[in-house]
Amino acid sequence: GENVEQHPSTLSVQEGDSAVIKCTYSDSASNYFPWYKQELGKRPQLIIDIRSNVGEKKDQRIAVTLNKTAKHFSLHITETQPEDSAVYFCAAINNAGNMLTFGGGTRLMVKP
Amino acid sequence: GAGVSQSPRYKVAKRGQDVALRCDPISGHVSLFWYQQALGQGPEFLTYFQNEAQLDKSGLPSDRFFAERPEGSVSTLKIQRTQQEDSAVYLCASSLAMNSNQPQHFGDGTRLSIL
């Protein structure tokens, strides 16, 4: 089955700096890669996703890049703000096209 | 409501008791998923419904876990004879379409504590 590895597990940045979180996946047939933000005690919230037919997608301060050959994808947050502090999860859809396989999460701390 | 709704938000049960967790998906969403999230970890897949059909239950950890969605809308996850290792947050998600590549939207989850 699919295996998703995520790093770093924790990331501390100064407000205004950029943050990058990286994930690798094992199943070359995976074709959909969402990113979720989860604040303490709250639901995972979809912040951006990318499909395998594109290499990059941007939404304001957030961007995701996908390298299908290397089987890795990354989340980039620019001009970080304290409210960006949360746990971020990457995920991949398996080749059967239903369940999400999640990475282990990255705790992002943005210091004011 | 506009989002996925789960109840109860918190459930405390004694070991050996049965529990039932409810999920109301977004109206019109065909697909419904249950995930289990242990403390400090990512969610892990339990089971998947397309309308009322349970198409994948490969993630259910044991035969004590049972899920149903009899009318293709509300779903219930039941855990019989609960054990301490069942303590976790149980998340429900729904998506609009049957095919892959569709965003899954999560509820706030039920935090289950087994004493």
**pLDDT tens-digit profile of A39-76?**
999 999 999 999 888 899 999 999 999 999 999 999 99
Mutate to test the interface with B, among A43, A54, A64, A66 (most CBs of B within 10 A): A43
Q: How high is the mean pLDDT of chain A?
A: 94
Choose among A44, A51, A105: nearest Cβ to B106. Answer: A44
pLDDT tens for each residue of B46-55: 999 999 999 9
Best residue in A90, A98, A102 to probe B by mutation, most B CBs within 10 Å?
A98
**A100–B100 C-beta distance less than 8 A:** no
Decide if B104 contacts B43 (C-beta within 8 A).
no
Q: Determine the 3-state secondary structure of B49 from DSSP.
A: strand
Considering only CA atoms, give the Rg of chain B.
Answer: 13
The verdict on a CB contact (< 8 Å) between A102 and B42 is: yes
Between chain A and chain B, how many beta carbons pairs sit less than 8 Å apart?
A: 61
What CA–CA distance (Å, rounded) separates A43 from B58? 23
Please list every residue in chain B whose beta carbon sits closer than 8 Å to the beta carbon of residue A46. 103-105
Mean pLDDT, contiguous 10-residue spans, chain B (115 residues): 90 98 96 95 95 94 96 97 97 85 92 97
Q: Given strand B19-24, what is the order of strands in its sheet?
A: B5-7, B19-24, B75-79, B65-68
In the numeric block, the tokens 């396989």 are attached to A101
Q: Is the pLDDT of residue A95 over 90?
A: no
Asked if B54 and B65 count as a contact pair (C-beta separation under 8 A), the reply is no
Contact A105 B105 (CB under 8 A): no
CB contact under 8 A, B106 and A36: yes
A49, A96, A97: residue with CB nearest B103:
A49
Among B42, B56, B103, select the one facing A89 at the smallest CB separation: B42
- How far is the C-alpha of B105 from the C-alpha of A34, rounded, in Å? 11
CA gap B15, B114 in Å, rounded: 6
**Structure token digits, residue B6:** 């789960």
